Chain A
Amino acid sequence: MSILVYAEHDNASLKPVTLNVVAAAKAIAEKAGGEIHVLVAGSGCGAAAEEAAKIEGVAKVLKADSAEYEAKLAENVAPLLVKLAEGYDYLLAPTTTGGRNVLPRAAALLDVQGISDISGVEDADTFVRPIYAGNALATVQSSDAKKLITVRGTAFDAVAAEGGSATVEEVGAEGDAGLSSFVGQELTKSERPELTSARVIVSGGRGMQSGENFAMLERIADKLGAAVGASRAAVDAGFVPNDYQVGQTGKVVAPELYIAVGISGAIQHLAGMKDSKVIVAINKDEEAPMFQVADYGLVADLFQAVPELEAELDKG
Chain B
Amino acid sequence: MKVLVAVKRVIDAYVKVRVKSDGSGVETQNVKMSMNPFCEIAVEEAVRLKEAGVATEIVAVSCGPQQSQETIRTALAMGADRGILVQSDEALEPLGIAKLLKAVVDKEQPELVLLGKQAVDNDFGQTGQMLSALLGWSQATYASKIEKADGELTVTREIDGGLETVKVKLPAIVTADLRLNEPRYASLPNIMKAKKKPIDALTPDELGVDVAPRLSVLKVAEPPARQAGVKVGSVAELVDKLKNEAKVI
Known: A136-B220, A305-B235. A224 touches B214 (CB 8 A): no
B218 touches A312 (CB 8 A): no
Q: Please indicate which of the listed interface residues B133, B142, B232 has the most CB atoms of chain A within 10 Å of its own CB.
A: B133
List A5-22 residues whose CB lies under 8 Å from chain B: none
Q: How far is the CB of A314 from chain B (nearest CB, A)?
A: 11
Query: How many residue pairs at the A-B interface have CB separations less than 8 Å?
Result: 255
Q: How far is the CB of B156 from chain A (nearest CB, A)?
A: 9
A180 touches B162 (CB 8 A): no
B94 touches A113 (CB 8 A): yes
Q: How far is the CB of B70 from chain A (nearest CB, A)?
A: 20
Task: Tell me, yes or no, whether B163 is within 8 Å of chain A by CB.
Answer: yes
Task: Tell me, yes or no, whether A59 is within 8 Å of chain B by CB.
Answer: no
The 8 Å CB contact of A243, one of B38, B162, B242, B246, is B162
B162 touches A241 (CB 8 A): yes
Known: A96-B160, A105-B129. A73 touches B166 (CB 8 A): yes
B171 nearest CB neighbor, chain A only? A179
B163 touches A309 (CB 8 A): no
Task: Tell me, yes or no, whether B196 is within 8 Å of chain A by CB.
Answer: no
A101 touches B231 (CB 8 A): no
Task: Tell me, yes or no, whether B117 is within 8 Å of chain A by CB.
Answer: yes
- Stretch from A45-53, A160-168, A210-218, A295-303 that touches the partner: A295-303
Q: How far is the CB of B222 from chain A (nearest CB, A)?
A: 7
B-side interface size class: 35 or more
Task: Tell me, yes or no, whether A209 is within 8 Å of chain B by CB.
Answer: no
Complex CA gap A235/B177 in Å reads 13
Task: Tell me, yes or no, whether A205 is within 8 Å of chain B by CB.
Answer: no
Task: Tell me, yes or no, whether B178 is within 8 Å of chain A by CB.
Answer: yes
- Chain A facing B: main interface SS: mixed
B241 touches A296 (CB 8 A): yes
Complex CA gap A232/B132 in Å reads 28
Task: Tell me, yes or no, whether A60 is within 8 Å of chain B by CB.
Answer: no
Known: A139-B217, A143-B214, A232-B178. A183 touches B126 (CB 8 A): no
A104 touches B126 (CB 8 A): yes
- Stretch from B12-20, B72-80, B105-113 that touches the partner: B12-20
Task: Tell me, yes or no, whether B201 is within 8 Å of chain A by CB.
Answer: no
- Stretch from A23-31, A36-44, A84-92, A114-122 that touches the partner: A114-122
Chain B residues lying within 8 Å of A115, measured Cβ to Cβ, are 215
The 8 Å CB contact of B121, one of A71, A132, A178, is A132
Task: Tell me, yes or no, whether A140 is within 8 Å of chain B by CB.
Answer: yes
- Chain B facing A: main interface SS: mixed
Q: How far is the CB of B51 from chain A (nearest CB, A)?
A: 23
Known: A75-B139, A140-B218. A297 touches B230 (CB 8 A): yes
Q: Please indicate which of the listed interface residues A100, A180, A243 has the most CB atoms of chain B within 10 Å of its own CB.
A: A180
Chain B residues lying within 8 Å of A313, measured Cβ to Cβ, are 239, 249
Q: How far is the CB of B120 from chain A (nearest CB, A)?
A: 7
B167 touches A181 (CB 8 A): yes
Q: Please indicate which of the listed interface residues B123, B157, B241 has the most CB atoms of chain A within 10 Å of its own CB.
A: B123
Task: Tell me, yes or no, whether A186 is within 8 Å of chain B by CB.
Answer: yes
Known: A132-B26, A257-B246, A305-B235. A139 touches B218 (CB 8 A): yes
B95 touches A112 (CB 8 A): yes
The 8 Å CB contact of A180, one of B122, B130, B166, B241, is B166
Complex CA gap A129/B122 in Å reads 9
List B138-160 residues whose CB lies under 8 Å from chain A: 138-142, 144, 154, 157-160
Task: Tell me, yes or no, whether A66 is within 8 Å of chain B by CB.
Answer: no
List A257-313 residues whose CB lies under 8 Å from chain B: 257, 267-268, 274, 277-280, 286, 291-300, 305, 308-309, 312-313
Task: Tell me, yes or no, whether B125 is within 8 Å of chain A by CB.
Answer: yes
Query: Closest 7 A-B residue pairs measured CB to CB?
Result: A295-B229, A108-B130, A104-B126, A113-B214, A179-B138, A104-B129, A108-B133
Task: List, sorted by A's number, 14 A–B pairs whose CB atoms are closer than 8 Å.
Answer: A98-B159, A107-B126, A130-B123, A136-B222, A179-B138, A180-B138, A185-B165, A280-B242, A291-B231, A296-B232, A297-B231, A298-B234, A309-B238, A313-B249
User: Interface on B for A, CB 8 Å cutoff?
Assistant: 11, 13, 16-17, 19, 26, 38, 93-95, 98, 117-118, 120-127, 129-134, 137-142, 144, 154, 157-169, 177-179, 213-223, 226, 228-232, 234-236, 238-239, 241-242, 246, 248-249
User: Interface on A for B, CB 8 Å cutoff?
Assistant: 71, 73-75, 78, 96-98, 100-109, 111-117, 126, 129-144, 178-188, 196, 200, 224, 232, 235-236, 241-243, 248-249, 251, 256-257, 267-268, 274, 277-280, 286, 291-300, 305, 308-309, 312-313
13 extra interface residue pairs, beta carbon distance < 8 Å, beyond A97-B159, A132-B120, A179-B138: A104-B130, A107-B130, A117-B123, A138-B220, A185-B161, A200-B248, A248-B123, A249-B178, A279-B226, A279-B229, A286-B231, A296-B231, A298-B232
